[in-house]
Amino acid sequence: MNTKTQTSSHAHSAPIAVIGGGVLGALTALTASHQGIEVLWFAPPEAGRSDGADARNYALSPLTVDLLKRLGVWPSLEQSSCLVSRMEVYSGAARIDLSASDAGTEFLSVMLLHRDLLNGCEQAVKFRPQIQRISHRPDQLTITPEGVTLTAEERTYSAQLIVGADGARSWVRAQAGILWGQRDYAQQGVVATFRTEYPHGGIAVQWFDEGDILALLPLADPNLMSMVWSTSRPEPTSEMVINEFAARIGERTSGRFGALTLEGEASSAPLRMMLTDRQSSLRTALVGDAAHTVHPLAGYGLNLGVQDLLSLEDIWKSHRTDPGAAAALTAYEKARHRRVRRVQWSLDVLQRLVSQNHPTFLKIREFGMRVVANTGPLRQFLIKQAISPQ
Ligand SMILES: Cc1cc2nc3c(=O)[nH]c(=O)nc-3n(C[C@H](O)[C@H](O)[C@H](O)COP(=O)(O)OP(=O)(O)OC[C@H]3O[C@@H](n4cnc5c(N)ncnc54)[C@H](O)[C@@H]3O)c2cc1C
């Protein structure tokens, strides 16, 4: 049955309702529309997010870039993106170089600013007549075996499936009664942009130092780099700490980028791994941070959400008449639950390993890094895991 015909009798009805005006919400609406499925997208404009996402730069994996190309978002983003061709990882005196050419790919990841990515998605939505954007948060949700009913601004909407893409504090998750828990890393993720004296050359740098994890990532401007610093230092965003830290970065990178000057303000967010009991329930699916969060040490968060979406896309192909059917949601749960958990726990173990500060541990870590640095196949394996994780 054609989904459009099936729902046209109800002015505020569509097979899928997506909640969340972030990147994952926009991509979910776009993905459904490319399947020919009509969508109600509840997306109040993001204005001045208080969690620092505006200053965040995503390291997008090749899988994510492929999706953006398929959805027609990529052409508007290409200009403002930066291809990362090499990554240098340091711990003490040890160093590993990971390069795209080692794995026979063009790039390791693509750097893009949150605001540019979201704008690109929002522009693409305007060309999709299947998407009806509602600029309000829903205030009520009723879920029955037949479908969901939502109200917003005194209007009633109905759908066969509700997709919660409403972030780590998901309202949809709470309404659907999906249980969750979290591990607090007792660290802040500090995000800042630095202007460098010398061009960065598309090279990303990461190091593990005194329990902190620092990533310095190249941006489209050849003299701008984005920093993600995971630290337990108190008041890490104060001007004094950031300036002192910029000087330390200069020393650690042997001045290769020259002097670093803070552009704009630094922001921070507490780092947590959030796990959900399930990623779906009756007529409900969760994607992105609504379903899981991870430590940002591998730049994985958004990419993990895109993998949720790729699973849904696959499932919708064989459930066009009712994307919220129990069989579709069971397939989604099967496709994602274990994989997401595996990624979450792998990153958690990695975080524990690289945050250890005991001298014996440091020696073991440096030894491990030297082994990786001198073993081509191991390096290739690491790159493959980083760019197209299974
Ligand atoms: C410091 C830090 C650095 C990071 N770096 C990277 C990186 O390099 N690469 C990467 O892949 N990931 C990174 N991440 C993770 C990444 O930011 C998240 O995984 C990603 O933003 C999740 O997107 P989302 O759309 O699921 O959630 P969000 O970005 O949180 O979006 C949720 C949206 O839903 C809206 N919303 C909330 N409630 C409602 C409601 N009731 N109705 C309607 N709308 C609602 C919100 O306003 C928001 O617009 C990082 C995270 C941190 C903390």
Q: Which atom belonging to ligand 1 lies closest to the Cα atom of 170?
A: 38
| In the predicted structure, residue 254 carries a pLDDT above the cut 70 | yes
Binned at pLDDT 50, 70 and 90, residue 146 comes out as very high
| In the predicted structure, residue 29 carries a pLDDT above the cut 90 | yes
What whole-number distance in Å separates Cα of residue 185 and Cα of residue 270?
8
Is the beta carbon of 56 within 6 A of some atom in ligand 1? yes
Instruction: Tell me the pTM.
Output: 0.91
Is the beta carbon of 207 within 6 A of some atom in ligand 1? no
Mean pLDDT calculated for residue range 232-258: 82
Q: How many CB atoms lie within 10 A of CB 227?
A: 22
Is the beta carbon of 365 within 6 A of some atom in ligand 1? no
- 30-63 pLDDT, tens digit each: 999 999 999 999 999 887 666 667 778 899 988 9
Which of the pair, 236 or 74, is modelled with greater confidence? 74
Mean pLDDT calculated for residue range 347-372: 73
Closest CA to 303 of 222, 380, 385, 224: 385
| In the predicted structure, residue 6 carries a pLDDT above the cut 60 | no
In the reported structure, the alpha carbon of residue 289 is separated from the centroid of ligand 1 by a whole-number distance in angstroms of 6
Q: Which two tokens stand for residue 364?
A: 């073991």
In the reported structure, the alpha carbon of residue 220 is separated from the centroid of ligand 1 by a whole-number distance in angstroms of 22
Closest CA to 262 of 194, 327, 346: 194
Sign of CA dihedral 317, 342, 385, 68: positive
Binned at pLDDT 50, 70 and 90, residue 376 comes out as low
Mean pLDDT, all residues of the chain: 88
Contact call for residues 237 and 190 (beta carbons, < 8 A)? yes
DSSP letters spanning 241-275: HHHHHHHHHHHHTTTTT--EEEEEEEEEEEEEEEE
| In the predicted structure, residue 276 carries a pLDDT above the cut 90 | yes
Which of the pair, 229 or 179, is modelled with greater confidence? 179
Q: Which two tokens stand for residue 104?
A: 């026979």
What whole-number distance in Å separates Cα of residue 233 and Cα of residue 28?
37
For residues 212-226, one letter each, b for 16 or more C-beta atoms within 10 angstroms of the residue's C-beta and e for the rest, the string is bbbbbbbbbeebbbb
Greatest alpha-carbon pair distance for the chain in Å reads 69
Which residues are CB-neighbours of 95 under 8 A, at least 6 positions away?
Answer: 88, 89, 369, 373
Binned at pLDDT 50, 70 and 90, residue 3 comes out as very low
Mean pLDDT calculated for residue range 117-135: 96
In the reported structure, the alpha carbon of residue 374 is separated from the centroid of ligand 1 by a whole-number distance in angstroms of 37
Sign of CA dihedral 232, 237, 238, 243: positive
Helix axes 23-34, 62-70, angle to 10 degrees: 50
Which residues are CB-neighbours of 44 under 8 A, at least 6 positions away?
Answer: 21, 135, 136, 137
Residue whose Cα lies nearest atom 1 of ligand 1: it is 189
- 56-88 pLDDT, tens digit each: 889 998 899 999 999 999 999 999 999 998 888
Binned at pLDDT 50, 70 and 90, residue 378 comes out as low
Closest CA to 251 of 211, 217, 290, 205: 205
Q: In this structure, are strands 203-209 and 212-218 parallel, antiparallel, or unpaired?
A: antiparallel
The region, left, alpha or beta by phi > 0 then psi within -120 to 50, assigned to residue 264 is left
Q: Which two tokens stand for residue 1?
A: 């049955």
CA distances from residue 325 to 114, 158, 176, 283 in whole angstroms, order as listed: 33, 15, 16, 7
- 287-335 pLDDT, tens digit each: 999 999 999 888 888 999 999 999 999 999 999 999 999 999 999 999 9
Which residues are CB-neighbours of 263 under 8 A, at least 6 positions away?
Answer: 192, 193, 194, 195, 224
Which of the pair, 58 or 366, is modelled with greater confidence? 58
